[in-house]
Amino acid sequence: MRLGDALFNWLQIQAVADARPHDQSAKETAAFFSAILTEDHNVTALTYTKDETMYTLRYTMEGKPKMEMYQIEAVEELLDAINSEPKYNQ
């Protein structure tokens, strides 16, 4: 998996896991993408912050700090889809 795809996928599912702390599947999926980032891309110190318009993803790769920014709407698309599905909200 390409680095950019793995970063976005991790961020999107981590946002779901953080918003839905009872959602074990989201936690496991976030751990899966974290493992891909660690094992395949040597990413460490993976964190994110959120402001009014953007998610900022920070990480270290090969000893160098890196940063990516994503629009809130793109990151929260999965969370919105899950929250709008009644069978996932029982």
pLDDT band at 90 (very low <50, low <70, confident <90, very high): low
What pLDDT is attached to residue 34? Answer: 97
Say whether pLDDT at 36 is over 70.
yes
Structure-token pair, residue 58: 């920070």
pLDDT digits (tens, 9 = 90+) for 9-24: 999 999 999 999 999 9
pLDDT digits (tens, 9 = 90+) for 42-54: 999 999 999 999 9
Structure-token pair, residue 55: 């998610």
> Domain count of the chain?
1
- Please give the Cα distance from 33 to 4 (Å, whole number): 12
Q: By residue range, what is the domain housing residue 46?
A: 3-88
pLDDT digits (tens, 9 = 90+) for 55-89: 999 999 999 999 999 999 999 999 999 988 877 66
Structure-token pair, residue 35: 């493992």
- Please give the Cα distance from 66 to 46 (Å, whole number): 10
